[in-house]
Structure 1
Amino acid sequence: MHAQPADTPKGGGILRQPMSVWATAFAAVVAFMGIGLVDPILPAIAKNLDASPSQVSLLFTSYFLITAVAMLITGWVSSRIGGKRTLLIGLALVVLFAGLAGTSDGVGQLVGFRAGWGLGNALFVATALAVIVGAATGGAESAIILYEAALGLGISLGPLVGAVLGDMNWRYPFFGTAILMAVGFLLITTLLKAGPRPAEKTRLSAPIRALGHGGLATTAFTALFYNYAFFTILAFTPFILGMDAYGIGFVFFGWGVLVALSSVFAAPVLQRRYGTVRVMHAALVLLVLFQLGLAVFGHQGIIVCTILSGIPIGMNNTAFTEAAMEVSDNPRPVASAGYNFVRWLGGALAPFFATKMAEHVNDGLPYYVGAASCAVAIVILVARRRHLAPLERVDIDHAFEDAPLPAQT
């Protein structure tokens, strides 16, 4: 477990944070908006660029594949040039490639620019978590909840922004992201102080070596299968909703709101009461049920199951992130890099495989595979539960922190 730094203010509450934390969190919201931003405009992109759903799904695959691989170098970079410079380089790359994506004349160009966007996103997202954890008041748990709140808010707003701008022109959401990220760049430039560089430089092999820890490897590979199911819903469902940009945007806005609420409010309470591993199990079972609902129900059922799937996804986002940070003795940036490298591979594989299965078999098969993927995740958790014992100690510590003081006699 990681001890709270001695200079971290206590009792400040999750909302009482330095301006540098809020600046980083704002940029994180915009960064996560980029994930769901393209959801409402996927059919429009396919139509305007004369591409098939599986070709358009490569927007997600290239983005997350590069994001996953780039996670391996984030610690190496930030330990040499510092967290602030790494954040700014990541933001600058997102501004550049999001703007270029809006100028694309073909799906190949768009996929390539999304890959560059993924590189910038990796540098920013991995470093942002470490910066927020290091600068936030209230300890690591509050910082992680704040980070997950940014994720949930970004994921919920992304489809809405994509719908509003995409209804005017499918290129506008990309330009809008570039502008918002430029604002984030300016905020971090002015509000975030450049902290001291780490005393020890991170080796390139550190994230892979970190995965040699049984607990972190278990968490990461469970998250890989969970993320496969997660991104089957996010990247494939827009093609079968049969709705315009606004319709798709509002469906995924509702989904994103539930992701945010369950991340920030439900998950922490349930983790303290039942433990992190039990929350993972429960959320994965719920996600299996919603995946099966997506496979068998009609149009209205698909809308309901898509929106409600945000509940287990939000719970798992918080549970898995906290587990990755706490289960091993690796430095948090290193653990985060190794964990994210593995889990984002699920986000890279799911969109392309799901659309290909639908093109060659039927629209229900991707969701059956997503449900099976969640089942595999549950099996991994059960088979390797002894490696997650450190999480039980963390949960016990939290329970003692929240316990009422004995009555004075």
Structure 2
Amino acid sequence: MTKIKLKDALKIYREKVSILKKGYAQERFRLHYLISTFLGDLFVDEITSVDIATYRDQRLESINIKTNKKISAATVRLELSLLSNFFDVARIEWGFCEGNPVKNVRKPKAPPGRDRRLTSRELKLILRYCHNHRNSELQSIIVFALETAMRQGEILSLKWENINLNQRVACLPDTKNGTRRDVPLSLRARDMLLRLGQKQTGKVFTYTSSGIKSTWRLMLERLEIHDLHFHDLRHEAISLLFEKGTLDMMEIAAISGHKSLSMLKRYTHLRAQKLVRKLEAPKQKGRAAILNNLVPYPAEIFVRNGKFVIRILDFEKFEVEGDDYEKTVEYAQDKLLRKIILEMKYEKSVTAPDQYLEPVPQDRITMIDPLAETHFDTLI
């Protein structure tokens, strides 16, 4: 049996095994960290499950320098998975050890999948920012992600020769799962490509992975949008596909590229929202349709020239004022109710709440309910 330290064996693994993987860029950083730990100075055949467990516990207590938070369980699980794969290769192919000590160690509990949804207001802010951005590709990339559910890497590696604009299909010859995938393009997705200027060959987008990462981070900082990852756009796109209700799970999997349907089960809760309307008795459907639109809207309340002023933020030029606070609130309720009913009467899409773009201080915002009997007690 060959006697070799883990740090040296991991370098061999990096050069012969890891470099062939699609996720090599990420795995390279994990290997670099593992080489620098106390495990790196141990001989491969002498590492025990106790050593692995010790590494796991120490790693879970360590701090991520970038976020100043503890290392996540997901990160540690990925590192243990990498170590486990290394020991299997080292045992079977290289004869560096006789067993895999990682297999006997408990893995940190897997965190729940992210369920971050993009709000209508956030989408409007992002699209307005992209429209004014010096690089017109940014808007196309973000809209394309929301329309196709493609991964960031798939979008950035997209080539013109793999796109058929007439049939509205984008071919991904080499995906994360290692399989070819054809992605249908909506009219909006196609328009996002056409605005760039169609070419015969070459990459569609010039952004690099690091470039889009820094641009995304700067945009969120300026817009004051928190905890939103670029990958959340893929989650949002898949959620919207489910909410449309026109595609079954197999069809959505074909678009998104999920090999396992179990990965899509996290989205099945969205179907419950569609069932709400079906639960209503036929005679109640009309009533439910009206009441679904009569919901509270955010409003800014302030004093101007000695009068109380209320602005419903989601409607342009929607403002009422009065001398008496309670009567002004009631007037705003009545006007809001009339506004919503008129939008429904003329078959317009009723404006949803919380889509305003103005930077209004939160301490000046309250919710105006068009159906509430009184607001006075709740607003004072």
Q: What's the TM-score bracket when you normalise by the shorter of the two chains? A: under 0.3
Relative contact order, higher structure (CA 8 A, sep 6+): 1
Higher strand share: 2
- Structure (1 or 2) with the larger CA radius of gyration: 2
Q: TM-score, with normalisation over the residues of structure 2?
A: 0.20
Q: TM-score, with normalisation over the residues of structure 1?
A: 0.19
